A and B are shown apart, each in its own frame.
Chain A
Amino acid sequence: MNIIFVLIPLGLVLVGFALWSFFWAVGDGQFDDLESPGWSVLRDDGPSDRAQAEAGTRQAGTPRAPR
Chain B
Amino acid sequence: MSGFAQNTFNGLVSGAFYALLALGLAVIFGMLRVVNFAHGAFYMLGAFGAYVLLSEAGVPFWAALVIMPVGLGLLGMALERAVIHRLTKLDPLYNFLLTFGLTLILQDLVKLRYGVQSSPYETPSLLSGSVDFGLFDFPTYRVFILGFAVLLCVAVWWVLTRTRIGMVVRAATERPDLTRAFGIDVGRWVTPVFGFGIGLAGLAGVLAAPMRAVNPLMGADLIIVVFAVVVIGGLGSIFGSVAAGFGIGLVQAWGEAYLSNFPLVSQTIVFVVMAGVLLWRPAGLFGREEAPA
> A and B: partners?
no
Which residues does B use to contact A, with CB under 8 Å?
none
Which residues does A use to contact B, with CB under 8 Å?
none
